[in-house]
Structure 1
Amino acid sequence: MTDEKQRHALLDAALRHVPFDGWTWVVLDSAARDCGIGAAEARRLFPGGPAELVRAFSDEADRRMLAELERLDLPSMKVREKVAAGVRLRLEAIAAHREAARRALAFLALPQNASLGLRCLYRTVDAIWYAAGDTATDYNFYTKRALLAGGYSSTLLYWLNDKSEDYAATWGFLDRRISEVLKVAGRLGKGVGAAMSFPDRLMGSLTAGPGLASPRMPFSRRRRGHRRCLPQRSWPHPGARQGRESPNSVHVVIERKTSGILIGSI
């Protein structure tokens, strides 16, 4: 069995234990026993432990979301419909593990895991916009992702507490949030001043390796003085383009700035 298949097997096994034990080393060891894999081998496959398991969970959900989006007739859909479909499919991708998602949010709320939560959130909204056909290379690149990050996070929190049939209340909430996101983005796009200053105010800080831009990050927005980020071992992200740097080695960190605090998400 390849390392990738073993990682998938361990993640699937871990998800059966997470609702009871949370995202912990205990869960990784329990998953290893279930799969007949030694504890040492499991830690080699997930050297980051619980944090890497959470990231694998998020990446797998992104992958499933993109696979379902490809089944839709996206060219015939409006941008609003594509984005809403992306968010809905992302939530449906983790619906079978709702309690694990709730536990993941609690895990990412810890100070030492905040940056991981923001990276996971960025990768999700970036994948949605890219699948929706976004080709922005100016300030719109940032505003769209920052605004959708807020919309996705609030919808996720609403969904986790939704008791309506087939999550009907959540989908209504989602439609309202997407409408707000697109209206705000449209208003911001009308002002030249906003075009020049909004990305810096909204995004706070973008962290990337020296001389590199993030995937689909406008080259015109590279900055000097970026701190170097050590790459984390993880599965390739489904939204990464071939021939470009992967988010595994270029980390984009969205600072907690929007209206209130933008939290990391799963």
Structure 2
Amino acid sequence: MPRKTDYPRLIVDNALELAAEKGWAQTSLNDVAAAAGLSLAALHGTYPSKTAIVAAYTTHVDEAVLNDIDPELADKSSRERLFDVMMKRFDAMNPHKEAVRSILRTSTSDVEALARGPLSLYRSMRWMMEAANIPSSGVRGQLRVKGLALIYLAVLRTWFNDDSEDMSRTMASLDRQLHRAERLLGFLRGCRRRDPGATDPSGPVEAGAG
């Protein structure tokens, strides 16, 4: 029996493999438990639903980006910093592209995913803004977060079909979307580089958060 501390990683890794192989809609919690070598009770005690498993994966991606912030970007423009952060996100998801594709297709018919999905997306995008050292609080910050969420969803379409080794099509799409948002909406207008020690008032990223 695996150690309890290994449960989250085992569950998420095996769930992603199943999503890529047989489709997320066709993957049951029994399937995930069996693939991870766990009982249903152990699975339930770690992640009580498929939506919770997806949220945990999203948090893992968030943390991968936050752990890879490049200090040399501190003096770059807001758009350059945000571009770098978002490309790190796509890079972190690249090994699980087929799983992510299947999960997103299924989410449109999953009531729980539809209810929690936007909140999870906005939370992740807020952390991406913070990773780029761009204010995400207040009315203007919230608008930036929502704008970044729309940009992210638009670029996802390109990323799904980008089979280049350097993700050149994804980079080009992200650059276009950021430039368009900045030009038409003043997306990053008024952003100033902040003290890198500043923290987000929402608290740390938590695994399993929706």
**Which residue of the partner structure matches residue 199 of structure 1?**
none
Q: Is the 8 A contact 2:136 2:144 kept in 1?
A: no
Q: Deviations over 1:209-242 (max 9, x none)?
A: xxxxxx648xxxxxxxxxxxxxxxxxx953x8xx
CA distance in 2 between partners of 1:172 and 1:33 (Å): 41
- In structure 1, runs of 5+ residues without a counterpart are 191-214, 218-235, 241-245, 252-266
Q: Which residue matches 2:80?
A: 81
Say whether the 8 Å CA contact 1:159–1:167 is kept in structure 2.
Answer: yes
1:12 aligns with 2:10: no
Matched, 1:103 2:105: no
- Per-residue deviation, 1:127: 0.6
Once the two structures are superposed, residues 173-226 of structure 1 have per-residue CA deviations (whole angstroms, 9 ceiling, x without a partner) of 111111122234428969xxxxxxxxxxxxxxxxxxxxxxxx648xxxxxxxxx
Task: Give 1:23 deviation, angstroms.
Answer: 2.8
Q: CA–CA distance in 1 between the matches of 2:208 and 2:9?
A: 20
Question: Residue in 2 aligned with 1:61?
Answer: 61
Q: Provide TM-score, normalisation by structure 2.
A: 0.81
| 1:135 aligned partner | 135
* Equivalent position of 1:93 in the other structure: 92
TM-score (norm 1): 0.65
Secondary structure at the residue paired with 1:94?
helix
**Equivalence for 2:36:** 35
Percent identical among aligned pairs is 23
CA distance in structure 2 between the aligned counterparts of 1:35 and 1:188, rounded to whole angstroms: 43
State the shift of 1:170 in Å.
Answer: 1.4
| Cα RMSD for the two superposed structures | 2.9
Q: How many residues align?
A: 199
CA apart distance, 1:11: 0.9
Instruction: Assess, with a 3 A threshold, how the Cα gap between structure 1 residues 25 and 51 changes in structure 2: closer, same or farther.
Output: farther
Does structure 2 conserve the Cα–Cα contact (< 8 Å) formed by 1:13 and 1:31? yes
Q: Which runs of 4+ in 1 moved over 6 A?
A: 187-190
For each residue in 1:46-71, what CA deviation from the matched residue of structure 2 results, as whole angstroms up to 9, or x when unmatched? 11x211111111111111111122x4
- More helix by proportion, 1 or 2? 2
Deviations 1:43-96 (A, max 9, x none): 22111x211111111111111111122x44231221111111111111111100
SS in 2 for 1:73: helix
Q: Deviations over 1:237-261 (max 9, x none)?
A: 53x8xxxxx995xx8xxxxxxxxxx
Aligned counterparts of 2:78 and 2:27: Cα–Cα separation in 1? 43
CA distance in 2, matches of 1:80, 1:188: 7
How far did residue 140 of structure 1 move?
Answer: 1.1
Distance 1:178 1:120, change over 3 A: same
Quote the residue 1:148 is aligned against: 148
* Closer/same/farther in 2, CA of residues 140 and 185 from structure 1, 3 Å limit: farther
**Secondary structure class of the residue paired with 2:24:** coil
For 1:76, the aligned partner's letter is: D
Shift of 1:13: 1.8
What is the alpha-carbon distance in structure 2 between the residues aligned to residue 153 and residue 133 of structure 1?
21
**Deviation of residue 17 (structure 1)?**
1.3
SS of 2:67 mapped into structure 1: helix
Cα pair 1:237 1:247 within 8 Å, conserved: no
